[in-house]
Amino acid sequence: MIGSAYSNGKDPAVPNHILLICLVVQVVSFFIFIVIYVASIYRSRRVTSSHFKTYAAATFVATLAVYLRTIFRLAETAQGLQETLSTHEVYFGCLEFLPIVVAVYILVWWHPGKWFTNELKARRVLSPTSETELQ
């Protein structure tokens, strides 16, 4: 909507304000998620395995990277079209593209299946059930 209005010579202020409101809601809800996530990990610190702690730390770093990107998008939208943040690629590369790349690589390397599969198999949670056990 913003690009269409800008391309057609119309005022993109209304669509930009809609996007700004949505980004504020996203930043606030993401912050609430981070607080709840940290509280959950803190409360479970004594009863969790080292694999879970590694996974939780990796997920937290990936979450912060995505949150950084969200805050950048909010700042870019608040600044408006054709301003510094939206017209310089160094900001896009460092504050929008790079955090997502970091988050993706972290979640690829520390995927929960990689860390928990052996532990769960050892507990026989993921072991295949034979037909005789099903009957």
Which residue, among 110, 114, 121, has the nearest Cα to 56 in the 3D structure? 110
- What is the mean pLDDT, run by run of 10 residues, along the chain of 135 residues? 67 80 95 96 83 88 96 87 78 88 93 66 54 49
Residue with tokens 């072991």: 127
On whether the CB atoms of residues 114 and 104 are closer than 8 A, the answer is no
pLDDT at 126: 47
Backbone angles phi, psi at 111, to 5 degrees: -65, 140
Q: How far is CA 25 from CA 6, 8, 11, 50, in A?
A: 24, 29, 24, 34
Within 10 A of 117 (CB to CB), how many other CB atoms are there? Answer: 14
pLDDT at 116: 62
Retrieve residue 64's tokens: 């912060």
Tell me the pTM.
0.74
Q: How far is CA 10 from CA 1, 6, 14, 92, in A?
A: 11, 6, 10, 25
pLDDT at 52: 82
